Amino acid sequence: MAVKARETLESKQISITTLGILMVVVVGYTLLYNQFANTLEDYRLKTIVGVISLVIMMGGFLISLRYITTIYEMLITHDQFTIERKIFFWKKTVLEIKIDDIIKILPIEEAKKIEGPMRNYTLTNMDGKRKYVIQYNKQGKICCAKIQCTGKFHETLKKQVKI
């Protein structure tokens, strides 16, 4: 099984504006919690509110880490297109399509009225990496996958599919 093309899609560093927004949210949330906690006199209620507040902050932190550290590895072989998602050290194959099952590969701008359920395997807008929609058959159903890759990877995929 010879590898025809391989591409890694990594999320770029967090922007200054996003970091500023996160800091404002954290400071605002902390100030609101402090104002609310100072008005409570019952220590049990204060403890419960503190634990709930901590769980909310940790959950938000873990969710943001998930989106910041997501990496997609795309691989084209002579008979299959595969996408693996990596988050920290967890690795999972999220898409496997036989090359013969691919119907269309369109730029995202041309794919407004595509049939079938859409799965998204893209990250934020990146320089040199455009978004495309792959339409394919899966067990007799038409499905779609939104991917993001360079022009060279796209051309290799189109040649392999013979579109």
Q: Is residue 33 part of a domain?
A: yes
Contact 7, 151 (CB under 8 A): no
CA–CA dist 103, 114 (Å, integer): 11
Look up the pTM and report it.
0.71
Q: Is residue 129 part of a domain?
A: no
pLDDT in tens, 108-152: 887 777 777 888 888 877 777 888 888 888 888 888 889 888 888
Tell me the residue range of the domain where 50 lies: 16-68
Query: Who wins on pLDDT, 67 or 137?
Result: 137
**52-61 — which CB contacts under 8 Å span 24+ positions?**
53/29, 57/26, 57/29
Structure tokens at 4: 């025809």
Q: Is residue 74 part of a domain?
A: no
pLDDT of residue 83: 92
Structure tokens at 75: 């691989």
Q: Is residue 54 part of a domain?
A: yes
- DSSP-derived letter for residue 93 is E
Contact 84, 91 (CB under 8 A): yes
Nearest to 11 by CA among 85, 91, 108: 85
